[in-house]
């Protein structure tokens, strides 16, 4: 399941990388890119919710924590690449992405890279089984989501 | 048999009203500031107030009771027509139109609180206590509903204040002071009957409402 998802993400990245270099290949439509990034964010949001549900119980399920952390870590690195020019609010397609993603790109990419790092750490910490550390890293990962959303996402 | 300068609004009703005003403002502010622990606490307090108001609508003093102020469409229409006549006399308690306004505001607030209880934020990080019973997508829908009902509540609040100004300026009737002091026209006939049993009903209501609110705030994980 997780491997299939990360494979899917890898494929999207591969397709994007290829279309960037090969002019002959058909470019993905803005709609399909926006759909892909929505799906990715929803997958990560769902995993964060699943983790939270476990963390607030007295005996959190280790397999659910591990699988959820893995989903976030596998999805996060590909998301930054799903914001090509022409997929912002000016595209007319329904998106909460704000225009400053494209005008403040270095900052946006840095935030996305931070998510990849924090979610990677989350996987490691979950594997360690130290509940205090897991809780702390869960909050740190969530803070990365929220921090970026406040700057680059329409507050709806 | 209305009488001027009696107890129009009992103390629980006045406390309910002004605490609600303060908490609605605080909920908005804490939500805007992403202070979600405070936003949740504020929501629980509003939930408690709403549950109490529903309870008080059955056992409170006469002007608090649904049976006194919820009127049919004919009575409401007749009241609206009477506003423009020289014979107009302000009825005690909620007038028939105001009664519908009370119901609309209570219904919108209940919807608001319920949606909030099930809501999940975009990060899956912050959520209402009942969101565990829903999927991420369903929780997001609850959050969106929470946002739509906020706009509805804003509209109802504007209407509420506009109506008070209308009575103040056009009808020369001050509705604000009675809601602070409690003094105004009331229904005297039943007042004596209710005040005797009133402290026990009040304490009983507060106990019941506190237990219910606590259980919901804990997501029924007791």
User: pLDDT-based confidence at A6, cuts 50/70/90?
Assistant: low
pLDDT in tens, B124-178: 989 999 999 999 999 999 999 999 999 999 999 999 999 999 999 999 899 999 9
B122 part of contact set with chain A, CB < 8 Å? yes
High-pLDDT (> 70) share of chain B, %: 91
pLDDT in tens, A61-71: 999 999 999 99
A148 part of contact set with chain B, CB < 8 Å? no
Give the residue-averaged pLDDT of B72-81: 95
A146 part of contact set with chain B, CB < 8 Å? yes
Give the residue-averaged pLDDT of A17-22: 48
pLDDT at A73 > cutoff 80:
yes
Give the residue-averaged pLDDT of B22-30: 98
Cβ–Cβ gap A146/B139 under 8 Å: no
Q: Going by C-beta distance under 8 Å and a sequence separation of 6 or more, which residues neighbour residue A6? A: A74, A75
Higher pLDDT, B89 or A144: A144
Q: How far is it, in rounded angstroms, from Cα B220 to Cα B222?
A: 6
Which pLDDT does position B2 carry in this prediction?
Answer: 46
When scoring A37, A48, A53, A111 by the number of chain B Cβ atoms within 10 A, the one with the most, hence best to mutate, is A48
Surface-to-core class of residue B93, CB atoms within 10 Å of its CB (0-12 exposed, 13-18 middle, 19+ buried):
buried
Which pLDDT does position B22 carry in this prediction?
Answer: 98
pLDDT at A135 > cutoff 50:
yes
Contact predicate B18/B49, CB 8 Å: no
Cβ–Cβ gap A45/B124 under 8 Å: yes
Which pLDDT does position B89 carry in this prediction?
Answer: 84
Cβ–Cβ gap A48/B125 under 8 Å: yes
Which pLDDT does position B207 carry in this prediction?
Answer: 97
pLDDT in tens, B106-123: 999 999 999 999 999 999
Pick the residue from chain B with its C-alpha nearest to A45: B124
Please give, rounded to a whole number of angstroms, the shortest distance from the CA of A22 to a CA of chain B: 35
pLDDT at A114 > cutoff 50:
yes
Pick the residue from chain A with its C-alpha nearest to B145: A156
Among A73, A52, A78, residue whose Cα is nearest residue A117 = A73
Which pLDDT does position B90 carry in this prediction?
Answer: 83
Pick the residue from chain B with its C-alpha nearest to A39: B137
Which pLDDT does position B42 carry in this prediction?
Answer: 98
Give the residue-averaged pLDDT of B194-220: 89
Q: Which position has the token pair 């993603």?
A: A101
**Helices (H), ranges, chain B:** 11-32, 36-59, 66-69, 73-82, 96-118, 136-169, 176-181, 188-217
User: pLDDT-based confidence at B71, cuts 50/70/90?
Assistant: very high
When scoring A37, A43, A47, A49 by the number of chain B Cβ atoms within 10 A, the one with the most, hence best to mutate, is A49
Q: b/e string for A43-69 if b means 16 or more Cβ within 10 A?
A: bbbbbbbbbbbbeeeeebeeeebbbbb
pLDDT at A5 > cutoff 80:
no
Kindly list the residues from chain A whose CB atom is less than 8 angstroms away from the CB atom of residue B37. Answer: none
Which pLDDT does position A12 carry in this prediction?
Answer: 52
Among A86, A49, A83, A76, residue whose Cα is nearest residue A65 = A49
pLDDT at B196 > cutoff 60:
no
Find residues 93-112 of chain A whose CB sits inside 8 Å of chain B: none
A46 part of contact set with chain B, CB < 8 Å? yes
pLDDT at A23 > cutoff 50:
no
Of A49, A150, A153, the CB nearest to B124: A49
When scoring A43, A47, A52 by the number of chain B Cβ atoms within 10 A, the one with the most, hence best to mutate, is A52
């Amino acid at each position: 399941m997780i491997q299939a998802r990360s494979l899917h993400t890898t494929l999207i990245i591969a397709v994007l990388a290829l279309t960037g270099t090969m002019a002959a290949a058909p470019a993905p439509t803005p709609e399909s890119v926006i759909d892909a990034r929505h799906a990715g964010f929803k997958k990560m949001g769902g995993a964060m919710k699943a983790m939270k549900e476990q963390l607030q119980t007295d005996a959190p399920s280790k397999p659910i924590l591990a699988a959820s952390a893995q989903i976030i870590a596998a999805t996060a690195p590909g998301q930054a690449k799903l914001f090509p020019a022409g997929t912002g609010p000016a595209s007319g397609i329904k998106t909460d992405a704000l225009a400053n993603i494209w005008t403040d790109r270095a900052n946006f990419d840095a935030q996305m890279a931070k998510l990849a790092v924090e979610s990677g750490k989350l996987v490691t910490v979950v594997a360690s089984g130290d509940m205090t550390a897991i809780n702390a890293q869960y909050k740190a990962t969530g803070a990365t989501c929220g921090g970026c959303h406040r700057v680059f996402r329409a507050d709806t | 048999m209305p009488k001027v300068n009696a107890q129009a609004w009992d103390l629980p009703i006045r406390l309910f009203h002004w605490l609600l005003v303060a908490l609605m403002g605080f909920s908005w502010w804490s939500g805007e500031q992403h202070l979600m622990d405070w936003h949740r606490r504020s929501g629980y307090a509003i939930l408690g107030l709403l549950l109490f108001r529903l309870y008080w609508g059955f056992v409170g003093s006469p002007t608090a009771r649904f049976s006194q102020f919820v009127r049919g469409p004919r009575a409401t229409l007749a009241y609206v027509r009477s506003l423009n006549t020289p014979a107009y006399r302000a009825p005690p308690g909620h007038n028939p139109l105001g009664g519908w306004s009370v119901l609309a505001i209570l219904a919108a607030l209940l919807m608001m609180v319920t949606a909030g209880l099930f809501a999940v934020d975009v990060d899956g990080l912050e959520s209402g206590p009942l969101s565990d019973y829903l999927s991420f997508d369903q929780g997001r829908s609850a959050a969106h509903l929470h946002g739509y009902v906020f706009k509805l509540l804003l509209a109802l609040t504007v209407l509420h204040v506009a109506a008070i100004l209308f009575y103040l300026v056009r009808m020369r009737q001050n509705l604000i002071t009675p809601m602070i002091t409690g003094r105004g026209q009331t229904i005297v006939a039943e007042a004596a009957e209710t005040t005797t049993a009133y402290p026990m009903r009040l304490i009983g209501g507060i106990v019941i409402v506190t237990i219910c609110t606590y259980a919901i705030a804990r997501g029924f994980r007791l």
